[in-house]
Structures are given as structure tokens and as C-alpha cells.
Structure 1
Amino acid sequence: MTTTAADSTDAGLAAPVSSRLLVTRRDPETTSYQPLGFLTFNGHTYTFRYLRKAVIEDGFRALPGLSDATRSHTSDRLFPIFAERVISARRPDREMSMTALGLPVDAAPFEVLQRSGGRRVGDTIEVVPAPTISPDGTVSIDFLVHGVRYQSSEAQERITRLRTGEHLRIVHQVDNPADRRALLVTDQDALPLGYVPKPLLELVHNVTDSNAVVLRANPPKVGFHFRLLARVTGRMANDHQPFTGPDWETIS
């Protein structure tokens, strides 16, 4: 699959509204991601529910602070395992980080998690938004491009020069030895810039009539993880709502 952007697209920084985040854990040896459950927020209460399929798998490990996998967990405060992944308002680099994510400095914790993915250096937990299909049948997926640190110096310089709304390409890298589902992110001249995050591969593969654009390109000082924020829009195959069906049923 190769996607390019259409001539007109909404490149606004406003994140698509999502009240549900899929929580995943990466296997350090295989680098594959295991979906664990959903974190939701209704404006007042946070809820975390494990996936039934995840709990019955061999080697299942509950998340710290959410050890009871037989019930849903609710709180009026963000659970510590996720709160520690939100950039603190007391950190001196908070403003720079929020700007890199295209968010206001006072962005709510759930919004920060949605945009940042909650990733930390040396950690294996990552969250991704569970988008919904809009009334007009379209879907919008925002993500921070993975693997930027491993790209060429030319790519690093190119990212710095990218502009909001600039067209990107998403290329199915069928010959990738690590993952035949891999989706490479390039500029319009096919210069590799990084990859679509693995937890989003199945989702993005199922987007048709897709457009890819830059939401924000940041300088090297923000760190590799925040260098490039992208958006893919299009239509889900068969109008299927993402992350629904038997494999995505939760406990209670």
C-alpha cells in the first residue's frame, strides 16, 4: 500500500476527539505489541478494563497498580501507571513538549496521553487512540513517527524543514525483514523519515482513500520521539469501527 495526500486536506492541529485509548505492551525480544486493555475518560471518571483475550494468554502480566484483571478499575484521578507518563506541569520543558505535540501548555492529561502515546525511554508500555468513524464516513489517525533516530542525517535535516500540511507518503514495506506489515513514512521524494507505530499498523492498513500530512515537525532539541507528528485520514474498509469485535471485548 502506498498513500499520498490529496491536494486539499485539513492540516489543523486539533486532535480528533477520542475518549478511549488502547493500552499496549511491547515484547523486548520480538518488538511485537500485545494489546492489554482500554483506558477511557468520560470527562469526570477514568476507567481501565483488560481485554478478555489478553488475560487468558500465556505469560499475561497485569499492569502495576491494576493487578486485579477480573474487574474494571475506576478512579476520579488518572491511574499512576498512566499519570507518570504525562509531562508534569512543573517540568521546565513542559511548554516546549506541549508545543512539539501541537497542544496548549495547559492540555488535560488524557489529551497529552492521546498525542504522546505515553512512551518513556526504556519502557514497553504505549497507548494509541481508538478513533471512531465520523458521520461522513471518514477516520483520522494522529501519530508520532517511530524510528526517527535510526534514519539518515539527510532525513533528520529534512524533518526540520517540513511544514504543517506538507504531504507525506505511507509505503507498505513488504520486504521488511522484521515485519512484513511495516509502513514506512517518507516525504514526497521518497526519502525515508520513520515508521507508523506498530500498534497502529493493522488500523492504518485498513484505511482506504488515505491522505497523509505533517501535523508538526520539530527541531532536534525536542528529542527523536517528538520529531515528527503526522496524520492519516481516509475511510475504514467496510466502514468497520476500529478496535471492535470479539478480539476487543473487555472484562466487565
Structure 2
Amino acid sequence: MPSHTLLEASASSVDPPAQELLVLWQHPLSREILPVGRLSFNGTTYGFDYTVAASRIEGFRALSGLGMLGQHTDSALLPAIFRQRVMEPTRPDFAAYVGTLGLSAADATPWEQILESGGGRAGDTLQFMEMPVVRGGYARARFFANGVRHIPGHVAVIAGHTLVTSEENHEHALQSLAPGDIVSVVAEEANKVDSQAALVTASGTPIGWVPRLLAPAFRRLLSSRPVELSVVRRNGPESPSHLRLVLELNAAAPSGFTFDPAGDWNAI
């Protein structure tokens, strides 16, 4: 479990919880993060479906307790493979832990714990992301900033200019953020790991990346207009780096825009 550093929560944390999450799986060889399932919750029943992407992964094996690919699963309880990522309220450190997620002990349901923590565990291959949507002409996505610990010393090329961020400047930029603050997304050029990389910057200082799964969609948005994100939560420096910053996109979407043009996230 993450350390118990207090999270700052914005007003958006009182919004109704998301009803569907993408289940992400890290390929053991390529280390690529792939969307293999869709986990939903309607208030009483959990539903799970494998995605088209899962059916395209050579050698991918069905997740424990969730049937075969193409089989829909319903359950009154959070499936056991996901329940392992939830802390029981009987634990003495329960209130402190859910506090790091911006939740109170009274209303920290299993679903909200997974939503707010991303469900990741050290050495594990699974994590979760709120399902990005396009609704009413607006693109909305909510996610953790990726690669935060890799920013210090990283050589970034932005609009033809090379920028190297020191650890001190990086931490100062993070610590200066508060819920509701606006940060920018910029296309990173010549990234050797991801040709579609999209950096998140605060007042010009790189602080992390848009998740690689979403980067192509953000690059399409950037091709027509600037893209900004609002800070939902900012965690302290003692917390795990993958939980440092929760961001939200709520921007006008170009006609025909979709986060998943190939249909990889569709259920099979």
C-alpha cells in the first residue's frame, strides 16, 4: 500500500464516481500497457468484459476468475483478482490509507478505492483508468500523470528547444500545484520510447507525461488547438511517484474525435 501522505482534493472529487474503468495489463516482454478489459459498476453489480485488444495479444491468458475471452461476467462482489487491490475497513490503517486517496473512511467503497488509486501494486501487471469519453462535444479523461519520477534529468525537445529539468525545479513545480490549477500538454519531439509522447508542463516545467495509452489522442487534439488539464489532486513527495498527480481533461472535441479510433477498447 502507498505511504500515508495526505492528498489535496479538489471539488471535482465530490462528482459521482465513474461507472466504467479500463483494465490495463502490462505485457511482460514489451512492457507495453494494453487495455485488456472493461470493468463496470452500476451501484449493485460489477460487470467485466474483455476487449478487442485482448483478443489480439498473442499468448494472452484470461484473467483468473473472469472466464474466457468473449465471456461477460457479472458479480455482486468485486471480482477477487481486483479485490486484492482494495484495503479492508477493518485494517487499523484504513482511514489513513483512504485519506491518501482523497476519500473518507465512511464512504471509501471498493469501487472508489480502485478508481482513486488506479489499483496498481508493486510488481503487478494490472492497473485501472477511468474510461475516457466524448460526450456533448467534449472530450473528458481523468488519469494519473505518468513517469513523474523519470522527469528529473530527462532531455526533452519541445518546439525545437531542448529542456532538461532538475530535480529541484521538478519538485518545486509539483509542490506549487493546487487542485483546480491549470497545466499544459505539449508534444514532445524525438522521444526515443514513444513517438507520440505528450508532456505535461506547469509554467513551462515538465512534470510528467500523459499516459501512453492516451498520448495519440492528445496529439490529435494538439494538432488543432492548445490542450490544458486541471489538477484534481496533488500528492506529497513521500507518496509513490505514480500517485503524485491526478489530472483531468475537459475540452471541446473536434468533429469525429474519439479516444479509440481503432476500436481496441470495445468489448468482445
TM over 0.5: yes
Pair 1:35–1:77, CA change in 2 (3 A)? same
Q: State the alpha-carbon separation in 2 of the partners of residues 94 and 206 from structure 1.
A: 41
Q: Note the residue ranges of structure 2 that are not aligned, 5 or more in a row.
A: 1-9, 153-166
Pair 1:14–1:241, CA change in 2 (3 A)? farther
Shift of 1:205: 3.5
TM-score (norm 2): 0.78
Aligned residues: 240
The equivalences for 1:45-56 within 5 A come to 45-56=45-56
Name the residue aligned to 1:215. Answer: 232
For the 8 Å contact 1:145–1:230, the answer to whether it is kept is yes
Name the residue aligned to 1:193. Answer: 207
Q: State the alpha-carbon separation in 1 of the partners of residues 256 and 88 from structure 2.
A: 38
SS of 2:95's partner is: helix
Shift of 1:90: 3.7
Name the residue aligned to 2:20. Answer: 20
TM-score (norm 1): 0.82
Q: State the alpha-carbon separation in 1 of the partners of residues 56 and 178 from structure 2.
A: 45
SS of 2:213's partner is: helix
For the 8 Å contact 1:148–1:227, the answer to whether it is kept is yes
Pair 1:36–1:191, CA change in 2 (3 A)? same
Q: Which moved more, 1:99-108 or 1:228-237?
A: 99-108
Amino acid at match of 2:36: L
Name the residue aligned to 1:129. Answer: 130
Amino acid at match of 1:120: R
Amino acid at match of 2:140: S
Q: Which moved more, 1:239-248 or 1:60-69?
A: 239-248
SS of 1:213's partner is: strand
Shift of 1:79: 0.4
For the 8 Å contact 1:162–1:214, the answer to whether it is kept is yes
Shift of 1:56: 4.6
- CA-to-aligned-CA distance 1:167-218 (integer Å, 9 cap, x gap): 2111211311001111111111x21211112233234334466321222212
Q: State the alpha-carbon separation in 2 of the partners of residues 233 and 202 from structure 1.
A: 17
SS of 1:168's partner is: strand
Q: Note the residue ranges of structure 1 that are not aligned, 5 or more in a row.
A: 1-9
Pair 1:199–1:104, CA change in 2 (3 A)? farther
Is 1:228 matched up with 2:228? no
Q: State the alpha-carbon separation in 2 of the partners of residues 108 and 239 from structure 1.
A: 36
Amino acid at match of 2:176: R
Name the residue aligned to 1:114. Answer: 115
The equivalences for 1:164-179 within 5 A come to 164-179=179-194
SS of 1:222's partner is: coil
Q: Which moved more, 1:14-23 or 1:177-186?
A: 14-23
Shift of 1:246: 4.4
Q: State the alpha-carbon separation in 1 of the partners of residues 19 and 45 from structure 2.
A: 11
- CA-to-aligned-CA distance 1:135-156 (integer Å, 9 cap, x gap): 3x22322211122222332212
Is 1:61 matched up with 2:61? yes
Shift of 1:165: 1.8
Amino acid at match of 1:110: W
Q: State the alpha-carbon separation in 1 of the partners of residues 142 and 49 from structure 2.
A: 23
Q: Over the residues paired in the alignment, what is the CA RMSD in angstroms?
A: 2.6
Pair 1:22–1:12, CA change in 2 (3 A)? closer
For residue 176 of structure 2, the aligned residue among 151, 155, 161 is 161
Q: Identity percentage over the alignment? A: 32
Pair 1:146–1:88, CA change in 2 (3 A)? farther
Q: State the alpha-carbon separation in 2 of the partners of residues 118 and 231 from structure 1.
A: 18
For the 8 Å contact 2:140–2:250, the answer to whether it is kept is yes
Shift of 1:164: 1.6
For the 8 Å contact 2:214–2:259, the answer to whether it is kept is no
Q: State the alpha-carbon separation in 1 of the partners of residues 210 and 125 from structure 2.
A: 17
Q: State the alpha-carbon separation in 2 of the partners of residues 13 and 64 from structure 1.
A: 32
The equivalences for 1:20-99 within 5 A come to 20-99=20-99
Amino acid at match of 2:61: R
Q: State the alpha-carbon separation in 2 of the partners of residues 170 and 16 from structure 1.
A: 26
